[in-house]
Chain A
Amino acid sequence: MQPSGYTIFMVEDDQSVRDALGLLLGLQGYPVVMFADAESFLKAYRQEWRGCLLIDIRMPGMDGLALQKRLLESGCRIPVIVMTGHGNVESAREAFLSQAVDFLEKPIDHAKLMRAIGEAFARQMDAENQENESTEFTQLLANLTPRETEVMELVVEGRHNREIAEALDISPRTVEVHKARMMMKLRVESVPDLVRLSLRRHNKNRT
């Protein structure tokens, strides 16, 4: 069963295909929202939407690949499944370069579509978990005292307790106390966990 709150957003210009796929996915229990073209999707798009996108390549106006690229550039992380009736290597390459989950050729093999949707939802969930983790981490960082923050930064850089003690001009024993309190406040079990979380936060701030 798919996670609650996940929706399939379908952008497909062919009315019958849209209707048929919408009906089928709806019957299988997925919430489905349909759009006839890329422009109306972009107009309706909300940051908080979760789930996956099912995009047809050939459409009047903006085509599917352009829509995919536009979403990627604007920082939208919803996983995308690309469909096409006229697949070629070039369009498949472009789709995967823009991080498509799958590239499905029409007539669509339903089993493949199901697998792709499952994969897309899994990716979405991963992304969401990571996001939650790092939001939480940022919130927890605010609880640290200035000294604890200094200790944390040096720990992440890979310094030993003695080096930290020298750098901050305090005793190694005090460093150990600060470090233990800092780890507890940030709710991390080990130094590698701390490094992972702070690196992710760092990367996110950079992008």
Chain B
Amino acid sequence: MRSLITHFFQWLAFVIAYVALDWASYLHALYGLNITPWNPSLALGLVCSLRYGRRIAIPWFIALLLGEIMVRGLPAPMLTTIVLSGCMVVGYSAIAETLRRYVNAGDVLPDQRTLLSWLAIVILGTLATSGLYISLLLVADLIPAGDWVVALARFWVGDCVGIIVTMPFFWMLFEHHSRMRDMLLRWETAGYGMLAAFMLWVAFGLGGSGEFQYFYLLFLPLVWAAARQGVAGAAIAAFMLQAGIIIAVHWLQLVAVTAFELQMLGAVLAFVGLFIGVVIDEKQRVSVELRQSLRLAAAGEMAGALAHELNQPLTSLTAYGMACEQLLEQGETGERLRETIHRMISESYRAADVVRRLRDFFRTGATRLETISLGELLASAASPFAAKAQQQGVDLIVDSESTRILLADRLQLEVVLRNLLSNAFDAVADQSAGQRHVRLSAHPESADSVCICVEDSGPGLTEANAGRIFEAFQSSKSSGMGLGLAISRAIVEAHGGSLLAEISDHGLFKLVLPTEGKDDDAA
């Protein structure tokens, strides 16, 4: 019962919208019949038919009939009108059915092939329905017999243009997870909307008196929208431009022939926009997929490496546990047992630390770019090492004076810097006391990039191992997983930077990152 009422209101809304669009686009009609330069209402009908199925045919028929009565004041006898409307609904439903079969899988216009199929179905389908309609009109003697070619061309182009220009717009508007609804709320959309309005004014206001020689200017806002927002942007811009053209035609009171030519131009305009949009979307999708698969690969390697690293504490935990059993069996309950249990606890902490690192990686998995100050980044990356430095007698210098701004994922870069600092601390651990220095500093590399250096007083890298350290599982440390540097390099390269290990007599890693905006503090 409830769904019936919902359906009833949906149908009512559809009929009202359909008739309203019909009324708004009923301009320059031929012979007072529904032969107009564009029929956007038809696009609405097709989209609703795709969305709600064949049952929309009934309200569609009612809407067509109401249009004839209310908008055109019933130009033909009632019976003829009913037959005509019925034939039209059957014809249009057949187009919708073909679309459903060939192009309505998943997203709206996801690739070039779908776009071209859609275009072909629309052009051929409207040609067929136009032929049917005009034949019926001829049979009913509503148009002069000699004018059938003109009538057919007008009717066909009107339907075709109406669909090409407005169907993508309605289609995306009715999508479940509409990309377009997000786009409509963006400032950029308002931007190209205003540009479109301005260009329309230039094309029709200034150049309107001539042969519309500035029409090509309308491509600018369209290309902007398509290049930035893909098909969704192209659909919005094409719809805006079309509405603008119709208003201009109405306002300038152009003759029907000129309006007809403008419609052809409008259709080509819309098609170009959609084609660019589809190509942009495809490119975008490929790049997202690539990044996703890279991330999965990195995560897989990371998980493998961490599993390996977990084996060490697990081995010692098991051995300590069995040693405890052995001690108890031997009647030992004093200091030795307590000491062994204490070591078990610290091994558990070590295992927990491995798990925490894995979680950190997955948490920082998605790149979230924000503007961050380089100085703050260095300070916050180094802060966990202050206590460690004191404990291990390492002289840690952090030069965080820089005021330059980076556009980066803070968590990820912190992971990289901590990883490098942790390596540096390990490298100086074997040095004699007083010889343990670690230095984190940054200096401008060029006007729009900066170089962060992590230096230590350890033995440094030789030529042989400098090449290998970035490979996975190439660790020189027992607790290291040999993956830190591989992951770090992947993160830095995802930021458009590079991570280099210098061959030197002391440890030196250079991290070059692009900065945001101009250089403030460099000479």
Contact = CB atoms under 8 A, between A and B. Distances in A.
Contact of B311 (A15, A20, A28, A106): A106
Contacts of A14: 312, 316, 478-479
B81 interface: no
Contact of B478 (A13, A27, A86): A13
B12 interface: no
A180 interface: no
A106 B478 contact: no
Contacts of B475: 58
Size class of the contact patch on chain B: 20 to 34
Best-buried of B315, B327, B343, B350 by chain A (most CB within 10 Å)? B315
Interface string B461-489: 00000000000010111110000000000
A201 B477 CA distance: 45
A110 B479 contact: no
B326 A28 contact: yes
Interface in B489-508: none
Contacts of A110: 318-319, 322
A60 B318 contact: no
A108 interface: yes
Contacts of A60: 476-478
Contact of A107 (B315, B340, B343, B346): B315
B314 A19 contact: no
A17 interface: yes
A24 interface: yes
Contacts of A28: 326
Contacts of A27: 323, 326-327, 330
A107 to B, nearest CB: 4
A23 B476 contact: no
Interface string B268-285: 000000000000000000
Nearest to A37: B478
Interface string B126-145: 00000000000000000000
Given A23-B323, A27-B323, A110-B319, A16 B308 contact: no
A20 B315 contact: yes
Nearest to A22: B319
A19 B344 CA distance: 11
Nearest to B318: A107
B224 to A, nearest CB: 53
A59 interface: yes
A85 interface: yes
Nearest to B320: A20
A200 to B, nearest CB: 40
Contacts of A165: none
A21 B316 contact: yes
Interface in A88-147: 105-108, 110
B182 to A, nearest CB: 46
A85 B311 contact: yes
B478 A19 contact: no
B313 interface: yes
B188 interface: no
A23 B324 CA distance: 10
Interface residues of A, number: 22
Given A14-B478, A58-B478, A59-B478, A106 B323 contact: no
Nearest to B319: A20
A17 B316 CA distance: 5
Interface string A1-35: 00000000000011111011101100110000000
B476 A108 contact: no
A17 B312 contact: yes
Contacts of B308: 85-86
Given A16-B347, A28-B326, A23 B318 contact: no
Contact of B326 (A24, A59, A86): A24
A21 B478 contact: no
Contact of A23 (B314, B319, B479): B319
A58 B476 CA distance: 8
A97 to B, nearest CB: 22
A86 B473 contact: yes
A24 B314 contact: no
A16 B473 contact: no
B319 A108 contact: yes
Contacts of A107: 311, 314-315, 317-318
A16 B323 contact: no
Best-buried of B319, B320, B475 by chain A (most CB within 10 Å)? B319
Contacts of B330: 27
B323 A20 contact: yes
A38 B265 CA distance: 80
A86 B312 CA distance: 10
Interface string B294-322: 00000000000000110111111111101
Interface in A34-70: 58-60
Contact of B323 (A13, A15, A24, A86): A24
A2 B346 CA distance: 33
Nearest to B344: A20
Interface in A165-187: none
Nearest to A21: B319
Contacts of A17: 312, 315-316, 319
A16 B312 contact: yes
Best-buried of A19, A20, A107, A108 by chain B (most CB within 10 Å)? A20
Contact of A16 (B316, B322, B326): B316
A38 to B, nearest CB: 13
A170 B327 CA distance: 73
A16 to B, nearest CB: 4
Contacts of B340: 23
A87 B169 CA distance: 58
Contacts of A105: 311
Closest 3 A/B residue pairs (Cβ): A20-B319, A20-B316, A107-B314
26 contacts: A14-B312, A14-B316, A15-B478, A16-B312, A16-B316, A16-B343, A16-B347, A17-B316, A17-B319, A20-B317, A20-B319, A20-B347, A23-B319, A24-B319, A24-B323, A27-B330, A58-B478, A60-B478, A85-B308, A85-B309, A85-B315, A106-B311, A106-B314, A107-B314, A108-B315, A110-B319
Given A20-B316, A23-B319, 18 more contacts: A14-B479, A16-B313, A16-B346, A17-B312, A17-B319, A19-B343, A20-B315, A20-B318, A20-B343, A20-B347, A24-B322, A27-B326, A28-B326, A60-B477, A85-B312, A86-B473, A107-B314, A110-B319
